[in-house]
Amino acid sequence: MNANKDERLKARSQDFHLFPALMMLSIAMLFLPVIGTSKQNIPRLKLTYKDLLLSNSCIPFLGSSEGLDFQTLLLDEERGRLLLGAKDHIFLLSLVDLNKNFKKIYWPAAKERVELCKLAGKDANTECANFIRVLQPYNKTHIYVCGTGAFHPICGYIDLGVYKEDVIFKLDTHNLESGRLKCPFDPQQPFASVMTDEYLYSGTASDFLGKDTAFTRSLGPTHDHHYIRTDISEHYWLNGAKFIGTFPIPDTYNPDDDKIYFFFRESSQEGSTSDKTILSRVGRVYTAWTRNMCTDTYFDMRQ
């Protein structure tokens, strides 16, 4: 009995001494830079459009025959609807039948903005239009929407109506506002946003060239409509961040402890300019603090 007990203690002691080594190995693996992964990201299964049709597992949306560039969507489970943001258009579809009685809003960029966009050397078809990038539920009756506006971001409100059975789906063109710090200028710029408690939190580029990326907060209750963002500095807080997604996550039962998490990638600021590595990051914004000031922190996702 004693011999068996001694053997078990000895084995447990050996495992205990191996544990720090395994932990160090795991941490070392986590700290490896994320470089050259694009060639390895090959999907295990590829399906063509024809394959999907033959599988009878999808329903084509006929409104897409206009060749529009769909960039964002919003699911309204309460009304049983799906909103799609595209080039110069916003669609409202029924979840029961996507092609039955769907509604759409035509919202192009202003002509003068399109001309200025072309003069800046941008492509007339793929850049100089109003690509819808933000669709967020503002309240029970309105959706907040933003588009690139031919490299001049613009936002507004879509009225859905009070009753589920009688959907209005109308853009309030009399109360449009600037989309800067809410929506990117470039339709291809990686971007993330989320609406919580009537505040819009965004990870976006704040300039025409897309170099100054920032965490921002806008909107809010009527008495508190103003922008706040991460500080502007010659040493950018974010170094060419490519935003992936953002989510509100409650930490405790106390709403003052709620936080907004941003997931993004950025270039390493260490080393020479010719040897940059791409790092995965998580940014954390404290919603209670941002009522008075913007105190943002970010840390390595690998930690």
Question: pLDDT tens digit string along 21-72?
Answer: 333 333 333 333 444 444 567 778 888 888 888 888 788 888 766 668 888 9
- Expressed as residue numbers, the domain containing 85 is 65-179
- Considering the domain architecture, whether residues 121 and 75 belong to the same structural domain is answered as yes
Pick from 143, 161, 179: which residue ends a domain? 179
Q: What is the pLDDT of residue 235?
A: 59
Q: What is the pLDDT of residue 274?
A: 59
The three-class DSSP label of residue 195 is: strand
Q: Which two tokens stand for residue 205?
A: 């580029």
- Considering the domain architecture, whether residues 168 and 194 belong to the same structural domain is answered as no
Q: What is the pLDDT of residue 48?
A: 86
* Whether pLDDT at 92 is above 90: yes
Range 229-254 average pLDDT: 78
Range 102-109 average pLDDT: 94
Cross-strand pairs, 282? 263, 299
Pick from 154, 179, 204: which residue ends a domain? 179
Q: What is the pLDDT of residue 103?
A: 92
- Considering the domain architecture, whether residues 129 and 209 belong to the same structural domain is answered as no
- Considering the domain architecture, whether residues 91 and 129 belong to the same structural domain is answered as yes
> To the nearest whole number, what is the mean pLDDT of the chain?
78
* Whether pLDDT at 164 is above 70: yes
Pick from 123, 147, 179: which residue ends a domain? 179
- Considering the domain architecture, whether residues 242 and 163 belong to the same structural domain is answered as no
Q: What is the pLDDT of residue 289?
A: 54
Q: Which two tokens stand for residue 11?
A: 């084995």
Specify the DSSP class assigned to residue 231.
P
Specify the DSSP class assigned to residue 32.
S
- Considering the domain architecture, whether residues 91 and 166 belong to the same structural domain is answered as yes
Domain count, the chain: 2
